[in-house]
Amino acid sequence: MTSAYADSNDELQQDVTIPVQRPADDLEPGTRAVIYLRVSSSGQVKTDYNAEGISIPAQREACLRKARDLGVTVIDEYVEPGRSALEMTKREAFQRMLARVRSHEDVDVIIVYQLSRMARNRYDDAIVMADLRKGGVTLVSATEAIDDTPVGQLMHGILATFNEYQSRQSGADIAYKMGQKARNGGTLGRAPLGYLNHIDHSDGRVIRTIIVDPQRAPLVKLAFQLYATGDYSLDELADELYDRGLRTRPTTRHPAKKVSINKLSQMLRDRYYLGYVDYQGEQIRGRHQPLIDEELFDQVQDVLDSRATAQERRRVHHHYLKGSVYCGYCRRAGRTQRLAIQRTVNRHGHEYLYFFCRNKRNDLCPSPHIHVYQVEEAIERHYASIRFHPEFIADVGAHIDTVINEQEAAARLLHKQTTSQLRELDTKEDNVIDLAADGTLPQTKVKAKLRDIERERRHLTQRLDTASADLTDSARLIQAALTLLEAPDKLYRRCNDQQRRLLNQAIFHGLYIEDDQVTDHDLHDPFGPLHALQRQHVPAPTSATTTRSPRGRSKRATRPASGSSTSGVALLLKGIHTGQGSNNNPKVEVPGIEPGSSVASTGLLRAQFAVPLLGPTGHANKPV
């Protein structure tokens, strides 16, 4: 058991000065008393026209009556409005009272309304009582029979134990009720920005619920809409919302103010605005009205994830290539350095953006400043170099079908064999049960045989469940990669800035720039292995590639084993399925994706639905 009181700093307590309200020098020792009054929540002092509420005056009256009965004089009182019994070190009046007992030595009796007003922890109670006894101070309750007599001390111990039990029981009861409220879709605590806590008085009931804040809710929804465009950093979004009138809700301590960047970031991640409440990590459909839909929320998450993936600092300048472009000069020197972005304004007020290598400042890199437009055009041109040839796409597609068909055939055969074995076990089990009914076998042998049969059945059932290593997702990923890069340069030109960001992060681990050219790149999986296969690829033979054997029979041209796309695709499928990938592509946990999946795979599947479709209009379509 731990004690908040035991962790307090005694030296700090001794430095506290106590203003004495009534002179105690003329009073005889043994007759000097102080009273300690406390309520455990600030709401209890706001229940009456009296500034102290109802509870504190009632406690004071009972304590003064007890003082008269004891024949002692109250020389001071210590009032604690709204302090929890579990936070003794934060109860300022309580600490001042103890410091006075230690330093002034002018207190003989402390009167409390109830023992629970002082402590609800047996350990804290014991330490406080040891302090008081050391100073010769008696603790008296106005409503309970506790004093320095043996019977009074026995009652004190019983009440301390009961108060601790009651405190813990009340806490457990409140936690249970809060859990039930959350599981029913209720909101615990203060409503997030855009909503208001509301008390509904209907049908004779008092129901605490959540309503939409008519003033702030439209601006919260606007925050999601603006950020989903990809045109705003968090700094810029906070300024824009402030200019449009979004403020935090004022409290007694803090006035309304601008929404901070951290608060804004948390808000954009909060699924509460989709209509869910979070309780102990579980997402539960709430009873409050959603402010946004799933599509808008997902678009915002894509923007947040893409900027987090690029490790981009968006404090001053932002660009869709930040985080994806690296210095080619440093690459050749054996270093890895991202290109930063710099803004310059000429004497006519025109703004220019340049990419530059930070190592240039240390004279470690000779690379020049490169205009942003030159880098953009270089990457557009570079996309033509990563396209997959139609023959390769068709050949890989055929091999994927072959691998999947072979897997399915093997799985069907294993399923058939396992099912047959399970039927045999059922027959064997029936025979053992029949023998047991006839009394032919001893009960011990019957139980042992039945346990063996059940153990084998579990093994076969588990084998049946895991008979097929599902390569379907891997095949879909490869086919999506092939489709995406069938005409990548045309696709890239049709994308908006946010879609280009997604494509770059899905395909490239890094693009290396020298002057105004892309000199190298690192590809994410599965693009890297697929390009390696394409370099080894031998097209499927056609009529033009057939040869004649000496006996005049037609014979297909053979394919070198080292360049076999068939084996390469099969290995690639299995490598992606088992989570093995390029060493250049670290595995991380991605929300919504199974552990160990790569950022590239996630980005590819997202980019597949986020980029515009190629069509005859010549305009970029709206992202899905």
pLDDT digits (tens, 9 = 90+) for 422-463: 888 888 888 888 777 777 777 778 788 888 888 888 888 877
Asked if residue 609 belongs to a domain, the reply is no
**In terms of domains, do 378 and 420 share one?**
no
Element (H, E) at 343: strand 339-345
Same domain, 87 and 137: yes
Ramachandran area for residue 275 (φ above 0: left; ψ -120 to 50: alpha; else beta): left
Count: domains in the chain: 4
Token look-up 């095949």 returns 475
Residue 70 covered by a domain: yes
Confidence of residue 281 (pLDDT cuts 50, 70, 90): confident
**Are residues 130 and 52 located together in one domain of the fold?**
yes
The more confidently predicted of residues 120 and 264 is: 264
Q: Is residue 494 part of a domain?
A: yes
CA-wise closest residue to 286 among 277, 295, 296:
277
Question: Of 246, 276, 310, which closes a domain?
Answer: 310
CATH of the domain at 54: 3.40.50.1390
Instruction: Tell me: do 476 and 356 sit in the same domain.
Output: no
Q: Do residues 199 and 300 both lie within one domain?
A: yes
Among candidate residues 310, 333, 353, the one where a domain is terminated: 310
Sign of CA dihedral 443, 444, 446, 451: positive
Domain CATH code at residue 215 = 3.90.1750.20
Is residue 531 assigned to a domain?
Answer: yes
Average pLDDT, the chain: 75
Q: Is the pLDDT of residue 564 over 50?
A: no
- Looking at the structure, tell me whether residues 364 and 454 fall in a common domain: no
Question: Do the domain assignments include residue 606?
Answer: no
Q: Are residues 235 and 379 in the same domain?
A: no
What DSSP state is assigned to residue 598? B
pLDDT tens column, 374-400: 999 999 999 999 999 888 888 888 887
Residues 66 and 110 in one domain: yes
For 203: left if phi > 0, alpha if psi spans -120 to 50, otherwise beta; the answer is left
DSSP state of 317: -
pLDDT at 314: 46
Spatial neighbors of 98 by CB under 8 A, at least 6 apart, are: 13, 128, 131
- Catalytic, out of 3, 40, 565, 598: 40
Quick one: 372 and 429 in the same domain? no
Q: How many CA atoms lie within 13 A of 97 on its CB side?
A: 29
Task: Cis check for the bond before 541: say yes or no (omega within 30 of 0).
Answer: no
Residues 270 and 202 in one domain: yes
- Which residue in the block uniquely carries the two structure tokens 């070198």? 560
What is the domain extent for residue 258? Answer: 195-310
If asked whether residues 342 and 451 sit together in one domain, one would say no
Q: Is residue 622 in a domain?
A: no
The answer, yes or no, to whether residue 495 has pLDDT greater than 80, is: yes
Which residues pair with residue 37 across a beta bridge? Answer: 79
Q: Look up 564 and say whether it is catalytic.
A: no
Give Rg (Cα) of the chain: 38
Give pLDDT tens digits for 250-264: 887 788 889 998 899
76 and 114 share a domain? yes
Report if residue 251 sits inside a domain.
Answer: yes
Does residue 356 sit within a domain?
Answer: yes
Is residue 598's pLDDT more than 50? no
Answer whether 262's CB lies under 8 Å from 288's CB. Answer: no
